[in-house]
Amino acid sequence: MDIEADVPSMSWEHVHGPARAVMYELLGSQDAALAQSLHDDGWNGQPLKPLGLTAPQFRGAPKKRGVYTTSPDGSVWLGSPVPQIAAVLVAALASRTEIVWGPARLKVRGFTVDVGVPVQDGPVELETATPAVVKHESRYLLPGDTHYLARLQHNLSHKADVLGLPAPSGLRVLEAGPRRRFTVRGAPRIGAQVRVALEADARFVEALRSWGLGLDTVQGFGWIR
């Protein structure tokens, strides 16, 4: 979705904070029952929500200390690996000229449906455009921490199970960005952008590209570039 913000900057708490509400509002505008069911129960008998999106991203935005600056050249990516849900999102976006993102209004200048290049089963590299969030018990983990790979593998296996697909294997972190901390609904989210390698069924790779890596994908984390 191509966007333009009506404000020159956003506070950091409003970068990821409104994402979940935006996603459910879009779904609910077309299918209130589906939105409520996903919110309350998850999908396919599992609490996971097969939804992903990014926070607003702005090309050419100037750097300014203490705030997240915008530009006229922005985008938000949204998706779901479930065709039924993805179709509702497309219908919702087709009728929008504006998205309310916290205190900002994002003018929708257009949107396209991205169809990824087909991939083969086997080794693949994936890179996130937003920080991936991984937790062990109550602690946020970063690449290199004990349990990081195990918990990320668990998350991937859980997602594969929800979709009825084979779990990936051979997960490795190839590269990691700096630690990033955001506030979401008054609570911290800590993570880092990552580039990973894994062996996976091609259908699962395509699913991840419209869902994301790690936790809190409905809050704009872990979106795959």
Among 211, 222, 213, 200, smallest CA distance to 50 is for 211
Per-residue pLDDT at 117 exceeds 70: no
Per-residue pLDDT at 159 exceeds 70: yes
Cβ–Cβ < 8 Å for 164, 43:
no
Cβ–Cβ < 8 Å for 140, 191:
yes
Total-model pTM: 0.93
Same domain, residue pair 147 and 98: no
CB neighbours of 176 closer than 8 A, spacing ≥ 6?
A: 142, 143, 144, 192, 193, 194, 195
Q: What is the model's pLDDT at position 225?
A: 86
Q: What is the model's pLDDT at position 129?
A: 96
Report the domain count for the chain. 2
Q: In terms of DSSP bridges, do strands 74-75 and 68-69 run parallel, antiparallel, or are they unpaired?
A: unpaired
Mean of the pLDDT values across residues 159-187? 95
Burial call 163-189: b when 16+ CB within 10 Å, e when fewer: bebebbeebebeebbeebebebeeeeb
Q: What is the model's pLDDT at position 186?
A: 87
Mean of the pLDDT values across residues 9-16? 94
Q: Kindly state the DSSP code that residue 104 receives in the 8-state scheme.
A: E
Same domain, residue pair 12 and 53: yes
Last residue of a domain, one of 86, 110, 134: 110
Q: What is the pLDDT of residues 14-26, one digit of tens each?
A: 999 999 999 999 9
Q: What angle do CA 200, 141, 17 make, to 5 degrees?
A: 95
Per-residue pLDDT at 118 exceeds 70: no
Q: What is the pLDDT of residues 123-149, one digit of tens each?
A: 999 999 999 999 999 999 999 999 999
188 belongs to a structural domain = yes
Mean pLDDT of the chain: 94
Same domain, residue pair 98 and 177: no
Per-residue pLDDT at 122 exceeds 80: no
Mean of the pLDDT values across residues 173-189? 94
Mean of the pLDDT values across residues 59-63? 92
83 belongs to a structural domain = yes
Domain hosting 173: range is 122-219
Q: How far is Cα 88 from Cα 80, in angstroms, rounded to an integer?
A: 10
Q: In terms of DSSP bridges, do strands 2-5 and 74-75 run parallel, antiparallel, or are they unpaired?
A: antiparallel
Confidence band (pLDDT; 50, 70, 90) for 185? Answer: confident
Same domain, residue pair 19 and 100: yes
Same domain, residue pair 173 and 200: yes
Q: How far is Cα 137 from Cα 158, in angstroms, rounded to an integer?
A: 16
Same domain, residue pair 166 and 213: yes
- The per-residue DSSP string of 2-29 comes to EEEESSSEE-THHHHTTHHHHHHHHHHH
Q: What is the model's pLDDT at position 114?
A: 83
Same domain, residue pair 134 and 180: yes
CB neighbours of 64 closer than 8 A, spacing ≥ 6?
A: 9
Same domain, residue pair 100 and 127: no
Copy the structure tokens of residue 173.
């972190």
